[in-house]
Amino acid sequence: MELVAREANVAKATLYSFFKNKDELFIAVSARMANILLNAVQEALADPAASLQDRLTEAVLAKQRLIFTLVRGSPHAAELFSYTHALAGDVFADMDHDILLSLSETLATNPRLAPNAAQLARALYFGSADLSRRCEAWDAAEKELRAFVSVHLAGALAVAL
């Protein structure tokens, strides 16, 4: 808490007036991060000028880019992920649910994809996270993710004939 107070340029007592302890602070930061991630995905999906594939691709990229930048860039990434599951698992589970719902609703706007929209949303969402996690640099991850969404969408459309 002392380090956070110093970085925020506030007295430690001021920080404690907002948060009882570091766990409460961590949960608040996690909730804010989950909200930023959800908004980034929903904003990409809401672009009326973009094609379905472009909206899905940008939604996947928006989420993974933020994870790559905010979390994986940290020297404490492994600690953050384990700590997140212990303290803020519900926050991120709710975010996952909301993002999956948004992806599924977007996919369902295509009548050919509608019957399997939820399944395709799960494949895109969880598959893209695993793929991104395996990349060392964002440029490589972005290239892989663009191909991943393109191939999955094309395959789903081909099967839906």
- Cα 46 to the chain's mean position, in Å? 16
* pTM (predicted TM-score): 0.87
Q: Can you tell me the distance from the alpha carbon of 85 to that of 98, in angstroms, rounded to the nearest whole number?
A: 18
C-alpha span between 83 and 100 (Å, rounded) = 23
Domain ranges of the chain: 21-159
Please give the structure tokens belonging to residue 82.
């384990």
Q: What is the pLDDT of residues 101-148, one digit of tens each?
A: 999 999 999 999 999 999 999 999 999 999 998 998 999 999 999 999
CATH code: domain 21-159 is 1.10.357.10
pLDDT tens, 8-52? 888 888 888 888 888 888 888 889 989 999 999 999 999 999 999
Paired tokens of 126: 């969880």
**Is pLDDT of 64 > 80?**
yes
pLDDT on residue 77: 63
